[in-house]
Amino acid sequence: MQEELHPWNWFAPENSKTMIIGTFPTARKNWSFDFFYPNKANLFWKVIAEILGTELQFMTGNPATEERKILLRNLRLAVTDMGKQIIRHANSSLDENLTVLEYMDIFQILDENPTIEKLIFTSSSGKVSAAKWFTEFLTQKGIRFRFPAGKKPIRSEMEYRGKIVQLVILYSPSPRAANRISFENLVELYRQEILKESSHGKSSK
């Protein structure tokens, strides 16, 4: 077992409208670059590039990190994870082998980035997931909340400082979840949620 602090906390371009929330980064042995979703087997960055109609040029090192930050800026898309400090068991990247010690302060991110109107959670199934950790974070803040049951995308909302924040659960882009949905459908789900204005359902295109 080993304790780990989140290496990046969050990345939020100016005027971010939407934020992607995962659980915690993969084990360092799987990193190809020093930024979110650093495992080449994860489909996240391929999905983001597809939404923008481009192809990833760099797969390792600082060039890969900078390329991915540009993609996020172009989409006004923030990214973080629910785990700020965790215990990793057996050097495993599986969510079920993570024990959370401290949650990421989502409210602090919203305070510092007031243009964010939508939170997208990349997983909800299993004992450990981004959505489950979010509800536990809210419980710590004295807020009772449960996502509705149903087929993804699962939608809900919450009020924070007088503003309605949309909440959406999508399929995970992890390789283990890839057999649940085709890549094309995964891209389309993320495209719809990222490009759609959250407040009134208007397209931002």
The residue type at 139: T
Of 188, 145, 182, 183, which is closest to residue 167 (Cα–Cα)? 145
CATH class of the domain at 2-194: alpha beta
Residue 100 bridge partners (DSSP): 86
Digit-coded pLDDT (tens) for 149-179: 999 999 999 999 999 999 999 999 987 776 7
Q: What is the pTM of this model?
A: 0.92
From the list 119, 133, 120, 126, the residue with the least C-alpha distance to 176 is 126
| pLDDT tens, residue by residue, 71-118 | 999 999 999 999 999 999 988 777 788 999 999 999 999 999 999 999
Please tell me what DSSP assigns to residue 176.
G
Q: pLDDT tens, 32-55?
A: 999 999 999 999 999 999 999 999
pLDDT for 198: 45
Give the number of residues written for the chain: 205
Is the Cα torsion angle 107, 112, 117, 119 positive or negative in sign? negative
Q: Tell me what percent of the residues of the chain surpass a pLDDT of 90.
A: 83
Q: Given this model, what pLDDT does residue 178 score?
A: 66
Q: Would you say the C-alpha torsion 45, 47, 51, 57 has a positive or negative sign?
A: positive
d(CA 14, CA 152): 29
